[in-house]
Structure formats: C-alpha cells, structure tokens
C-alpha cells in the first residue's frame, strides 16, 4: 500500500511536470485525467473510497468540460504563449527548483501535521508548487485553468487528511467544476472575438 | 419556514430564473423589488419567534441542515441582512440605467445568496469555499461573451482562487494553536498562512494589481458592485476569525500587522490616485484605500473594532455606487475615461461629473460627505496610538484628495463653447442626484446609519464586548 502510494506520488510529479512542458491541449487534458487518478488514490488513504471517488469523478468531468470546449473550438484554439518552446529549458529548471524546495519542506510539514503520511504531503506539495509555477508563466485561459486545477488538486489531497466533512468534499468538487466551466467560458469568449 | 431558505435559497432561485429574462427595465425593477422585499422581511420578522397574522401562526426558524452541516442566522444578523439586501436593491435598481441589468441581476443575486450563505455556514471557515464560488460567478458577470479576457480578469481569478486553500488550511492550523497555545512556531505559521489567504482575498498590496487593470476591461458599474460586496463580506469573514480565536483577538502583532497593512493600502491607493490620469483606475485606487480603511478599523481595540468596521459599509456602498454609475454613463459618451478624453465634460454632463467628483471626495473623507465621520473616528483612533500612524493616514487621504481635485480640474476645464447644459437622461439624473443627496445626508446626519448598524456587534460572541 505504502509503496503504491509512493509510486502514485511519482506519477503526480510526472503529470505536474508534463502539464508544464507539454504544448498539445489533448495530451495536457489526458495528463490532467491521469493526475486525478493520483488525487483519488492519495485521498482514499484518509477518506472512504466512495468519498474519494467524488474527486475522481469531478476531476474527470472537468477534463471532459475542457476537452469538449477545446474540440468545439477546433482550429480556433489560440496559439500557445509565444515563448512556449523557447522556455522549455527554463521550465525544467524552475520546476527542479520547486521540486527541491518540496523535498526539503515536506518532512517539516509532516511534523506539523502528524498522521498525514509522507506520500500525501509530497504529492500535495508537488502539485501545489508546480501548479503555482505554471500560473506564473502562462496567460491563456486553458493553461491558467489547468494551473489552478493543479494547485487545488494538491491542496485537496492534503486537506482530505485533515477534514472529512461531506459538505467540504461537495464544495471543493463544485469549485473544481466551476473552474472548468469558467475556463470553458473564457476560451469561448476569446474565440468569439478572434472570429468577429 | 427557515431563514436560510428565505435569504439564501430564494435569491439563488431568483438569480437562476433571471438568467432567462432579457428586458433590462423589468429585470432591474423585479430584482430590486425582490431584494427590497427580502430586506423588509428581515427588518420586520424576528427569527425564532412565533408570530400570528390573521389567525395564521408561523415561525421563521434560524437554521437548517445541509449535508450534515448547519446554516444558521443569529437573531442579530437580521439587521445585517436588512443592510445588505437594502444596498443590493439600490445596486440592482441602478443597473437599468447602467444597462447592465441582464448581467447584474441574475449573477448579482447568485453572488449575494452565496455571500449570505458564507455568513450562515457552520463552521464559519467553510465561507472561504463560498467566496471562491462567488469569484467564479463573477467571471461571466464581468466578461461579456464576445470579449477576450484581459490580464486583469485572469489575475482576479488566480488570486481569488489561491485565497481559498490558504484560508481553509489556516483554519486547521488555528484550531491546533488553540489546542496547544504554547507552540509559538505553529502560531506563527498559522498567522502567516491566514495572512496570505486574506492578502489574496482582500487584494492587499502588492496583490492588488488586478483592480485597476480590471476596471479598464469591464463595465465600471459591474466591477463597482464587486468592489463593494467582496471586500465587505471578506472583512465580516475576517471578523469571524477574530471572534472565534481568542489568541488572534488579543495578539498585539496581529493588530500591528493590520495597522501597517491598512496604512499600506491607504497610502498606496492615495498616492496612485494622486498621479493617475484615468478616471476608472482612480476609482480602483479609491477602493484600495477603502480596503485599507477597513483593515485599520479591524486594528482598533476589540470594543471599537466591530462598530467601526460596520460603519464603513453604508458610506462605502453609496460612494462606489454613485462613482461607478457616473463613470459608466460617462464612458458611454466618450472614447475612454482618460483625462484627455473627458476634459470639460462638466459643462455638458454636470451631474455625471458631480457624481464622480463627490464620490471621490467622499472616499477621501471630505467634510460633509458620507465617509467623513468614520474617517475622523479612524484617524483619532490611530492618533491615540501613534502620531506616526496618523501622519501616514493623512498622506493617504491627501493623495485621494489630490486625485479628486485633479479630476475636478479636468472635468471643469472650459471647452471652446463654455456653456453649461444638462445632457443627462432623466433617469440617470434622478438616480445620481439621489445618490449625491445620500452622500450629503449621511455626512451631515451620520446617526442615520446607527438605525441599522447599532445591533450588529451582537452577532459576534466576543468582539465588541
């Protein structure tokens, strides 16, 4: 169980890095879908399986909302940020710095909140840190929403260890879905003006 | 019947229903009528007391359960509902003139119901999630479907979303501090995380950059509504923290932090306002200063803090309403709200110009205008602590006054044909005229506010005692 949790934490590191580096929106959304499996697994360490499944379902619904919108805008997706490819090395370097900070600070957080479990702390902090980095270097609506969902996913993994209220689980799912809907709205708004 | 059903569920359903209406005038009239009715019900019917009308007895119970958690209104919160729904009615009524009723009425009701839910939810900490939902709903309100989202809007979305995790997480840490008060390290960590959460939520400098950017990207009236309602509810939420945790309430460091944070907002808002050449951005800086005044009110001793914070609500709402409505109407007649484009507008649109200038002076705390009495009280409170603090407060206020004076000078600069004419539409003249009158009445008779605000401190268990 513990080994599997560490494997999931490793997958979360790869997905968060992937979201930072991958340019294609289809692959990005696929990565987000995989990320939510990791979120589900780490949440299920502290929540009943049925409650943790809410995260998986709402996460995948977010992926579907963003994917359907992107498909609807076929040919109309605005080009990626100008410095996307040129900045790849910079992104890897910045992400490495964030990973180093997480490696150093996670054990301290585990001391503050005993019982949370190191895989949960690492997974949560990695997603939060890399999500914030993502937000700092993108400006497109889809990319911003992917960054925000990643930050919230990291937070939700850790918060699941602290709070097991059904209302909180429901509200956080509503927030995730709301973010995806807002992202879809922003993407469509950008597209409409570019057409007109 | 229960209170959450009336003041949360009904406006929420009304908001959803209003999404299907398109007529600006009807939307505005129905929306403001419903908000007024909700305020009236809150004013007339006490909670948890059996009443009999024409032989029919009924009682509005104060709480209800949703997913295992309760939504509860304390009897004292009835007055807060009166104030909030009364002010919301004013905003919705003005929406038809600003031609934003199709967005403000439905989304305004949805936003209001979620913010009211944030006051009622137990544990109060969950309010952070409701406020985040409000930020998400604000996006379609601020951005028309055919406009590219600007950087201000994206920053608003990011910062408001980042606030929620920090606040929820700090709540857990604060409970830990309460359990082991000797753990200084944990207390510092909890305070830092809580501070970061509120810095994002209240757009504390330097996280306030989205405010002037956003006002250039959207209708000043819509963003004005948000500028009023979000900081007001965030401050009430913040007071909930102070009320709940004794160590926060009594912490000298927190009081100092609030003081310096407030002064930073007042001074930065004031100085930028003094040098700004765009009327919309000036309003954003005025709102930044307003948030600073709220923080300064929270830094006062516990017995005065609640009264001071609530006293800011009505003058702030009225000033921002008059300011944003005047700017919206002005923006329709000119290319942009830059000084170069609005020169001499007071000659052709004197009421709009008066609305902009007087609202700006009111936010600055100019004598005889709505915010003057509370600014004076705040200044006195700061001066009692330290003359240095009072000096920086003065710097911020002088900045705001300079900005208002520059605006006045630009608006009354004589055009080639310097004849005074009244080109405003009758409905905007009446609304802005009434707003200006309200600013003077509240400034000359500040005790009117007490009618609604006197009981509000009772809604907190420890604050204001």
pLDDT in tens, B365-402: 999 999 999 999 899 988 988 898 999 999 999 999 99
* Residues of chain B positioned with their CB less than 8 A from the CB of A151: 161-162, 165
What pLDDT is recorded for position B420? 79
What pLDDT is recorded for position B48? 77
What is the ipTM, given to two decimal places? 0.91
A170 touches chain B (CB under 8 A): yes
Residues listed for chain A? 196
Q: How far apart are the first and last CA of chain A?
A: 54
pLDDT in tens, A173-188: 999 999 999 999 999 8
Q: What number is the average pLDDT over the span A147-152? A: 95
pLDDT at A77 over 60: no
- Distances in Å between the Cα of A192 and the Cα atoms of A72, B148, B149 are 12, 8, 11
Q: What number is the average pLDDT over the span B234-248? A: 85
Q: How far apart are the first and last CA of chain B?
A: 32
pLDDT at A83 over 50: no
Q: What number is the average pLDDT over the span A140-145? A: 91
Give the dihedral of Cα atoms B44, B19, B97, B432; nearest 10 deg. 40
Continuous H helices in B299-344: 302-311, 313-333, 339-342
Contact criterion met (CB below 8 Å) for A185 and B137 = no
Which string of DSSP letters, residue by residue, matches B175-213? HHHHH-TT-HHHHHHHHHHHHHHHHHHTT-TTTTTHHHH
Q: At what angle do helices A166-195 and B151-179 cross, to 10 degrees?
A: 170
Confidence grade of residue B253 (pLDDT, cut at 50, 70, 90):
confident
Chain-chain contact of A167 with B126 (C-beta, under 8 angstroms): yes
Neighbour tally for A93: CB within 10 Å: 10
Instruction: Give the DSSP letter of residue B6.
Output: I
Average pLDDT, chain B: 88
pLDDT at A194 over 80: no
Chain-chain contact of B145 with A189 (C-beta, under 8 angstroms): yes
- Most B CBs within 10 Å: which of A159, A175, A184, as the mutation test of the B interface? A175
* Residue keyed to tokens 């509503």: A174
Q: At what angle do helices B220-244 and B313-333 cross, to 10 degrees?
A: 160
- Interface size between A and B, measured as CB pairs under 8 A: 97
* Residues of chain A positioned with their CB less than 8 A from the CB of B103: none
A112 touches chain B (CB under 8 A): yes
| Residue B27 preceded by cis peptide, ω within 30 | no
Confidence grade of residue A74 (pLDDT, cut at 50, 70, 90):
low
Contact criterion met (CB below 8 Å) for B101 and B328 = no
- The region of weakest confidence among A59-63, B18-22, B318-322 is B18-22
- Distances in Å between the Cα of B298 and the Cα atoms of B173, B304, B435 are 22, 9, 28
Nearest to B186 by CA among A155, A157, A113: A113
pLDDT at B226 over 80: yes
Q: What number is the average pLDDT over the span A135-156? A: 92
What pLDDT is recorded for position B364? 93
- Radius of gyration, CA atoms only, chain B: 22
């Amino acid at each position: 169980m513990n080994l599997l949790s560490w494997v999931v934490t490793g997958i979360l590191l790869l997905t968060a890095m992937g979201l930072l580096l991958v340019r294609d929106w289809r692959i990005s959304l696929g990565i987000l879908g995989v990320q939510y499996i990791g979120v589900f697994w780490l949440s299920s360490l502290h929540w009943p399986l049925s409650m943790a499944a809410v995260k998986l379902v709402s996460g995948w619904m977010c992926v579907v909302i963003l994917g359907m919108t992107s498909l609807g805008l076929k040919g109309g997706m605005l080009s990626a940020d100008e410095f996307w490819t040129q900045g790849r090395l910079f992104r890897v370097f910045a992400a490495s710095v964030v990973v180093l900070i997480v490696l150093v600070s996670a054990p301290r957080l585990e001391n503050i909140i005993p019982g949370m479990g190191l895989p949960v702390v690492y997974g949560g902090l990695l997603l939060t840190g890399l999500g914030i980095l993502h937000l700092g270097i993108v400006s497109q609506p889809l990319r911003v929403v992917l960054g925000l969902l990643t930050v919230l996913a990291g937070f939700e993994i850790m918060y699941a260890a602290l709070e097991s209220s059904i209302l909180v689980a429901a509200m956080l799912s509503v927030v995730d879905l709301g973010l995806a809907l807002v992202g879809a709205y922003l993407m469509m708004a950008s597209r409409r003006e570019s057409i007109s | 019947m229960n209170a959450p059903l009336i003041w949360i569920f009904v406006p929420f359903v009304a908001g959803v229903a209003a999404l299907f209406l398109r007529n600006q005038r009807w939307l505005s009239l129905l929306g403001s009528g419903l908000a007024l009715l909700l305020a009236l019900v809150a004013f007339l019917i006490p909670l948890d007391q059996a009443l009999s009308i024409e032989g029919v007895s009924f009682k509005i119970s104060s709480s209800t359960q949703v997913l295992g958690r309760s939504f509860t209104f304390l009897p004292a919160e009835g007055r807060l509902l009166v104030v909030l729904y009364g002010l919301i009615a004013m905003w919705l009524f003005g929406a038809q003139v600003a031609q934003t009723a199709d967005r403000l009425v439905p989304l305004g009701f949805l936003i209001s119901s979620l913010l009211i839910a944030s006051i009622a939810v137990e544990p109060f900490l969950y309010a952070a999630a409701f406020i985040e939902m409000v930020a998400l709903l604000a996006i379609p309100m601020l951005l028309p479907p055919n406009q590219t989202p600007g950087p201000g809007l994206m920053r608003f979305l990011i910062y408001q979303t980042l606030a929620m995790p920090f606040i929820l997480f700090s709540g857990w840490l604060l409970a830990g501090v309460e359990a082991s008060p000797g753990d200084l390290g944990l207390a510092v960590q909890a305070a830092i995380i809580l501070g970061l959460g509120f810095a994002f939520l209240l757009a504390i400098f330097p996280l306030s950059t989205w405010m002037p950017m956003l006002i250039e990207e959207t209708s000043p009236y819509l963003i004005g509504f948000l500028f009023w309602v979000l900081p007001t509810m965030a401050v009430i939420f913040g007071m909930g923290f102070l009320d709940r945790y004794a160590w926060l309430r009594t912490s000298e460091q927190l009081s100092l932090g609030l003081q310096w944070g407030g002064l930073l907002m007042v001074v930065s808002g004031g100085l930028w306002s003094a040098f700004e050449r765009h009327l919309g951005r000036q309003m954003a800086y005025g709102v930044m200063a307003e948030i600073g005044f709220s923080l300064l009110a929270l830094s006062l001793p516990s017995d005065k803090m609640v009264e001071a914070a609530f006293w800011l609500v009505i003058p702030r709402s009225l000033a921002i309403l008059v300011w944003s409505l005047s700017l919206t109407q002005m923006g329709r007649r000119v290319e942009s709200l830059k000084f170069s484009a609005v020169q001499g507008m007071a000659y052709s649109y004197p009421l709009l110009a008066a609305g902009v200038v007087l609202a700006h002076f009111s936010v600055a705390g100019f004598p005889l205008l709505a915010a003057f009495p509370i600014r004076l009280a705040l200044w006195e409170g700061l001066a009692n602590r330290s003359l240095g603090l009072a000096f920086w407060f003065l710097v911020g206020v002088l900045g705001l006054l300079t900005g208002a004076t520059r605006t006045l000078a630009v608006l009354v600069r004589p055009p080639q044909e310097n004849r005074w004419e009244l080109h405003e539409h009758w409905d905007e003249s009446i609304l802005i005229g009434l707003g200006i009158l309200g600013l003077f009445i509240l400034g000359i008779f500040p005790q009117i506010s007490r009618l609604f605000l006197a009981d509000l401190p009772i809604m907190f268990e420890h604050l204001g005692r």
